[in-house]
């Protein structure tokens, strides 16, 4: 048998064993502990495995080809500039097939085994996901859809669409409720998609006017300050490293990178501190880059912290060793496993 297995925390690898679990051994285990190898596909000759995996931030990576005997970590295959979510083998083992999205849209790709060049075999506005090869190897079955997302406002004036182009996602009201920030992305929003950067926009709900916060500045995630004057933005630099930037909504100054910080999922916290996640831990830092320190001593795999309009906070933290704890929106801090002043206001 070939299957996925959690090792520690949420670190997931590919394992092979007999039906009674005797002779179990690792085939592939991602190097980064929070990373996960999800799906696996054995080659017809039983010597190679195609697998689908996520990185430490739980975004899907390109697919990977590894030897079944586990002698190496193998290498990435298929299109390398996007996420790969499903794979398959031709019946003769000469071709590898993938569902991947290097252009921001999921399509079917193939690559001659072992080291041919990836070839896109479907195209168009529709997206494909999942692959099942026919027994004769001459055709395949996949799911096809045309996906789009838009943002709408429902208020005393009725309903109206805010985002008119692209896929609108990640909407957040400014604290005064008069404006709405959101991202316009190419790919249909998916929390596990390849890092799906887009244009950060802000819409005036009274006039209906929408404009970019920063032009030509791909943003992966963001948050709004308590005074509603600026945004903190998560981007990737030319080396693929996660960086945090601050930008005022009135565009009175250009975006400023928070110095000496590499991290993801930024959120404004009490006193103007910015909380973010790097690998397994949550950190906090001042907007000028000073005061960088851990926000929690426990490893954190996923972190979402956002401000409610009434001044409270909503948080969801997942800790190591599968010690999952979910905090409801509340002003009571009695159930927190750390001092309330470290993260959430009372």
- What is the span of the domain harbouring residue 172? 148-225
Query: With contact defined as beta carbons under 8 Å apart, do 224 and 233 qualify?
Result: no
User: Are 177 and 101 members of one domain?
Assistant: no
Between these two residues, 122 and 33, which has the higher pLDDT value?
A: 122
Q: In the numeric block, which tokens belong to residue 158?
A: 């009725």
**pLDDT tens for each residue of 164-180:** 778 899 999 999 999 99
> Across all residues in the chain, what is the average pLDDT?
85
pLDDT digits (tens, 9 = 90+) for 56-66: 878 899 999 99
Residues 93 and 9 in one domain: yes
Q: Check residue 156 and give its pLDDT.
A: 85
Distance CA 131, CA 174 (A): 43
> For 98-117, how does the pLDDT look when each residue is reduced to its tens digit (9 = 90+)?
999 987 789 999 999 999 99
CA atoms of 287 and 295, how far apart (whole Å): 15
Reply yes or no on whether the pLDDT at 144 is more than 90: yes
**Model pLDDT, residue 193:** 55
Query: For position 184, what pLDDT does the model report?
Result: 92
317: in domain: yes
- Greatest C-alpha distance within the chain: 67
What is the radius of gyration, based on Cα positions, of the chain? 22
- Residue 275 counted as domain residue: yes
pLDDT band at 211 (very low <50, low <70, confident <90, very high): very high
Based on the fold, state whether residues 31 and 126 are members of the same structural domain. yes
| Lowest-pLDDT range of 93-102, 225-234, 278-287, 326-335 | 326-335
Residues 38 and 49 grouped into a single domain: yes
Long-range Cβ contacts of 239-248 (<8 Å, 24+ apart): 242/57, 242/278, 244/274, 244/276, 245/217, 246/287, 247/213, 247/214, 247/217
Band the pLDDT of 186: cuts 50, 70, 90.
confident
How many domains does the structure of the chain reveal? 3
Is the pLDDT at 302 greater than 80, yes or no? no
Tell me the pTM. 0.67
One domain for residues 8 and 138: yes
Contacts of 321 (CB under 8 A, 6+ apart): 8, 9
Does residue 236 contact residue 217 with C-beta atoms inside 8 Å?
no
């Amino acid at each position: 048998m070939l299957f996925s297995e959690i090792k520690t925390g949420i670190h997931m690898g590919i394992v092979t064993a007999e039906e009674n679990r005797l002779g179990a051994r690792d085939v592939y285990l991602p190097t980064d502990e929070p990373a996960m190898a999800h799906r696996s596909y054995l080659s017809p000759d039983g010597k190679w495995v195609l697998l689908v995996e996520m990185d430490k931030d739980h975004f899907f990576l390109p697919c990977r080809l590894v030897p079944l005997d586990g002698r190496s970590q193998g290498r990435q295959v298929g299109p390398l500039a996007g996420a790969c979510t499903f794979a398959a083998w031709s019946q003769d083992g000469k071709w590898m097939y993938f569902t991947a999205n290097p252009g921001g849209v999921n399509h079917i790709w193939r690559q001659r085994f072992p080291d041919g060049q990836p070839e896109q075999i479907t195209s168009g506005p529709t997206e494909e996901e999942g692959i099942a090869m026919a027994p004769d190897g001459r055709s395949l079955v996949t799911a096809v859809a045309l996906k789009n997302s838009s943002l709408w406002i429902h208020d005393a004036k009725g309903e109206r669409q805010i985002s008119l182009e692209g896929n609108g996602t990640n909407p957040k009201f400014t604290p005064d409720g008069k404006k709405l920030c959101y991202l316009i992305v190419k790919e249909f929003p998916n929390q596990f998609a390849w890092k799906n950067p887009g244009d950060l926009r802000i819409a005036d709900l009274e006039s209906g006017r929408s404009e970019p916060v920063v032009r030509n500045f791909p943003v992966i995630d963001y948050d709004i300050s308590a005074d509603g004057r600026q945004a903190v933005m998560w981007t990737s630099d030319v080396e693929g490293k996660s960086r945090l930037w601050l930008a005022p909504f009135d565009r009175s100054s250009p975006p400023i990178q928070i110095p000496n910080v590499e991290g993801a999922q930024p959120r404004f916290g009490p006193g103007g501190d910015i909380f973010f996640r790097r690998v397994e831990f949550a950190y906090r830092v001042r907007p000028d880059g000073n005061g960088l320190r851990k926000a929690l001593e426990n490893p954190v795999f996923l972190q979402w912290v956002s401000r409610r309009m009434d001044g409270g906070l909503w948080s969801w933290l997942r800790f190591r060793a599968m010690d999952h704890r979910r905090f409801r929106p509340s002003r009571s801090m009695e159930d927190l496993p750390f001092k309330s002043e470290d993260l959430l206001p009372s």
